[in-house]
């Protein structure tokens, strides 16, 4: 609580909060679009069935989502009369995310970097856009950032019960997105990480003695949050279920006879007819009348068989999936180009699209260089492992810019550090030939992926 009070006393933080709120409210006032698109419609349809007393059911495409967001939409409908009210909650959660990012950055990089990070978050165009949608990202980003801040705080506390905070929050993240299921070991490693780094043998002994109970409480908090849903859903959904049953559907989309699919502007299936045409080229999904866990497992097995039969094609698709993940456009680009914000002046449209592009390039490019220069300690363990895990999952399954969005705030900490102390960041990078080489190689790889994407992506901006 003392740390939170100290954070909330900063006037620059409050300025960033006000700016972020204004920028997020403005589109909702000027373009109060209540239509839905793709997954938004799916979440709404599932939520309506919850309101009607059917409980969580599969999507029209046959996959079972994590329960958090559909139930949140159902709660909004039940108690406010409209699912649109969830956007007001997301405005508040966006503010919580900004405060958490400020707190993380202050701990990791100092006060100046924390202020820069807060403003980077406040003006990030795609984060602003998602706050006013019915996609899950705003809630998930909030849970992820709060869990990280709580884990850093818990590491410094003597009382092991302090680890309940990150454990419960991580459990919440799992209930909103199944991909978070594998995050707790990364957070546990961060709590145990010695001050002297991976090679500090004495430090490992000391942290194992002093922080192993913290890890146990972290795991307990996560399990206590997720277990009630898992125990309830497992006998009803056809097999053991932690959170969702979506991996089979994603594997089916990404490892099939048709080319890698995505839904970003300039590279996605822009019409339902075109999407259906592509799907006809590949193997059919497993029987969607089967319980969702069994259907998902069947699709996973079929995808693994396809990979074994087409190893060259599988490996050859990895660069394209990564290009889709790191696409500097975003769903906001798509909405602007599709005319979902009617009346927006042409100059503002073009400026917004360029702003989206430059923001993505700054976070991905400069942020990655800053990671090589500055990433050390417990925060580095969590941020780098979460990003690496997400990149790996996309490389073998399915790439889309929306999957990258929760990662960008993690990189903003390092970007803010570099912007607030460019000389120190450059000196830190130059002091380690290995880190400098890693920054160069990774930057070149990102540039190649961007260039790979150029024929189908960036030219559509103009």
Chunked in runs of 10, what are the mean pLDDT values of the chain (462 residues)?
A: 81 97 94 81 94 91 92 95 94 98 96 97 97 95 98 95 97 96 97 90 92 97 97 95 94 88 69 76 87 95 96 92 88 86 88 92 95 96 97 92 95 98 95 94 87 52 42
In a domain, 444, yes or no: yes
In a domain, 267, yes or no: no
Place of tokens 């260089």: 369
237 and 163: one domain? Answer: yes
pLDDT of the residue at 458: 45
Distance of CA 457 to the CA centre of its chain: 21
Model-level pTM? 0.95
79 and 184: one domain? Answer: no
354 and 409: one domain? Answer: yes
In a domain, 192, yes or no: yes
In a domain, 284, yes or no: no
CA–CA dist 405, 15 (Å, integer): 24
Among the candidates 102, 135, 168, a domain finishes at 135
In a domain, 17, yes or no: yes
203 and 316: one domain? Answer: no
In a domain, 296, yes or no: no
Strand partners, 245: 64
pLDDT of the residue at 454: 53
Q: Are 260 and 399 in contact (CB under 8 A)?
A: yes
Q: Tell which residue, 355, 367, 310, has the closest CA to residue 330.
A: 355
Among the candidates 221, 249, 277, a domain finishes at 249
127 and 162: one domain? Answer: no
109 and 162: one domain? Answer: no
Q: Which domain holds residue 324?
A: 310-462
DSSP code of 326? T
pLDDT of the residue at 214: 97
201 and 85: one domain? Answer: no
72 and 174: one domain? Answer: no
129 and 167: one domain? Answer: no
117 and 191: one domain? Answer: no
pLDDT of the residue at 267: 62
Q: Are 91 and 24 in contact (CB under 8 A)?
A: yes
Angle separating helix axes 292-309 and 247-254, nearest 10 degrees: 30
79 and 207: one domain? Answer: no
Question: Looking at the 3D structure of the chain, how many domains does it have?
Answer: 3
Among the candidates 89, 105, 135, a domain finishes at 135
Q: What are the structure tokens assigned to 290, written together?
A: 């089967």
CA–CA dist 38, 262 (Å, integer): 12
Question: What is the helix (H) or strand (E) element at residue 258, kind and residue range?
Answer: none
**Percentages helix, strand, coil for the chain, rounded to the nearest 5?**
75, 0, 25
9 and 100: one domain? Answer: yes
Cα 88 to Cα 15, 21, 169, 376, 405: the distances in Å are 20, 11, 21, 37, 20
In a domain, 450, yes or no: yes
pLDDT of the residue at 462: 42
CA–CA dist 440, 434 (Å, integer): 10
């Amino acid at each position: 609580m003392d740390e939170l009070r100290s954070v909330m006393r900063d006037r620059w933080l409050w300025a960033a909060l006000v700016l972020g709120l204004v920028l997020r409210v403005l589109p909702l006032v000027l373009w109060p679009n209540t239509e839905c698109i793709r997954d938004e419609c799916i979440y709404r349809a599932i939520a309506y069935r919850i309101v009607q007393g059917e409980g969580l059911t599969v999507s029209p495409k046959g996959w079972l989502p994590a329960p958090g967001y559909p139930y949140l939409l159902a709660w909004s409908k039940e108690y406010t009369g409209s699912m649109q009210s969830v956007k007001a909650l997301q405005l508040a959660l966006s503010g919580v995310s900004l405060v958490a990012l400020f707190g993380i950055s202050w701990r990791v990089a100092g006060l100046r970097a924390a202020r820069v990070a807060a403003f980077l978050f406040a003006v990030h165009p795609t984060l602003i856009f998602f706050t006013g949608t019915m996609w899950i990202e705003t809630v998930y980003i909030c849970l992820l950032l709060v869990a990280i801040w709580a884990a850093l705080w818990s590491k410094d506390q003597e009382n092991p019960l302090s680890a309940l905070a990150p454990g419960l929050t991580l459990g919440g993240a799992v209930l909103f997105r199944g991909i978070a299921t594998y995050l707790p070991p990364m957070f546990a490693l961060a709590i145990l990480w010695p001050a002297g780094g991976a090679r500090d043998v004495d430090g490992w002994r000391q942290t194992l003695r002093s922080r192993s109970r913290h890890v146990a409480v972290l795991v307990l908090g996560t399990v206590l949050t997720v277990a009630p849903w898992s125990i309830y859903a497992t006998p009803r959904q056809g097999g053991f279920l932690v959170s969702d049953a979506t991996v089979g559907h994603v594997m089916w989309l990404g490892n099939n006879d048709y080319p890698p699919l995505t839904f970003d502007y300039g590279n996605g299936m822009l019409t339902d007819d075109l999407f259906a045409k592509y799907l006809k080229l590949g193997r059919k999904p497993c029987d969607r009348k089967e319980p969702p866990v069994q259907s998902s497992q069947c699709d996973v097995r079929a995808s693994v068989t396809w990979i074994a039969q087409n190893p060259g094609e599988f490996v050859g698709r990895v660069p394209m999936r990564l290009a889709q993940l790191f696409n500097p456009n975003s769903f906001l680009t798509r909405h602007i180009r599709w005319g979902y914000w009617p009346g927006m002046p042409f100059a503002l449209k073009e400026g917004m699209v360029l702003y989206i592009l430059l923001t993505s390039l700054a976070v991905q490019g400069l942020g990655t260089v800053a990671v090589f220069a500055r990433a050390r300690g417990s925060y580095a363990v969590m941020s780098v492992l979460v990003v690496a895990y997400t990149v790996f999952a996309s490389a073998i399954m399915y790439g889309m810019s929306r999957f990258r969005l929760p990662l960008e705030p993690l990189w903003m900490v390092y970007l803010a550090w570099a912007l607030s102390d460019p000389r120190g960041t450059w000196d830190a990078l130059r002091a380690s030939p290995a880190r400098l080489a890693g920054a160069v190689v990774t930057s070149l790889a990102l540039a190649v992926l961007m260039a790979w994407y150029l024929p189908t992506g960036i030219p559509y901006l103009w």
